Structure 1
Amino acid sequence: MGRNGVKEFSKAQVSSLLSTFCDFVATAGVFSLTHHVVASTALGAFTGGAVNCSINYCWTFKGTCRTKKGVLCRYVAVWLGSVMFNTAGTEWGVKLVRCSGLWPDQNLGLVMMVKAIVAVVVAVAWNFTTQKYYVYKK
């Protein structure tokens, strides 16, 4: 990865960090009110995705040859995959940890810990690659 690739990857990580913060705040708020893993994770992912798309379009991957509408259509497709992976991964992870007996109570701490692990895997394995080569391709 050349100098420009490292710079672009670094910007993507800053964007991801900011959007993840928004995602986690929304998740914690909804979970505190509903105690529903799937609803809180999905709403958080949608919130973070909106922030991420905006930052990436304006700053991280600026200079794309695609129109705003083109970017939005492609971003939504990638984003839905991300929401699915994050939501399913968090739900399954919480169930796995609870079934193992390591953390028998479903509470905010467990949900956020599992969500953080899943978010890192999805961000590196799915989000960056699909955004760079499919959504914001130059």
Structure 2
Amino acid sequence: MKKALIISFLRYQVAAIIATMVDFFVLIILTELFNVWYVASTAIGAFCGALTNFIICRYWAFVNSSNNLSNQIVKYTLVSAGSLVLNTLFVYLLTDFGGVTYSISKIITAIFIAIFYNFTLQKYYVFKQ
């Protein structure tokens, strides 16, 4: 594996962890303190996490990207929309049909989406070098 790929993967993981913390924080605050329906809280949290992730990835994780800002915003929006739909859908399915609590559903979903969807599309599509 190339050194540059490993570095971008590790930097992306740091960005993803920070974004996930923002995502979870918003989810839990909205659901537990403001009694917002967990599905809506999941979507709002995912949006806040996506915004955090974009900023960190653009300016730190994938700094050598050849795409300009407006191009990245469009591509990131498409990838994030897919991620938001997948996150919300999987949390709903695991919680309502799988009998898993929403917080555990969110953890399982976040790991799955991060590994199989987000990094790959951000590295090779959004922040392509």
TM-score (normalizing by structure 1): 0.89
Distance 2:57 2:106 in 1: 22
Q: What corresponds to 2:69 in structure 1? A: 68
Q: What corresponds to 2:116 in structure 1? A: 125
Q: Post-superposition shift, 1:34? A: 2.3
Larger radius of gyration: 1
Letter in 1 for 2:41: S
CA deviation profile, 1:30-86 (whole Å, cap 9, x unmatched): 111225121010000000000000000000011111111110010000000000000
Letter in 2 for 1:114: S
Q: Secondary structure at the match of 1:34?
A: coil
Unaligned 5+ runs, structure 2: none
Listed as ranges, the matches of 1:14-93 within 5 Å are: 14-32=14-32, 33-93=34-94
Distance 2:21 2:61 in 1: 17
The alignment covers a number of residue pairs equal to 128
TM-score (normalizing by structure 2): 0.95
Distance 2:128 2:98 in 1: 39
Letter in 2 for 1:130: L
Distance 2:22 2:105 in 1: 17
Distance 2:36 2:93 in 1: 16
Q: Post-superposition shift, 1:111? A: 1.1
Establish whether residue 112 from structure 1 lines up as the match of residue 113 from structure 2: no
Q: Secondary structure at the match of 1:66?
A: coil
Unaligned 5+ runs, structure 1: 104-109
Q: Post-superposition shift, 1:96? A: 2.5
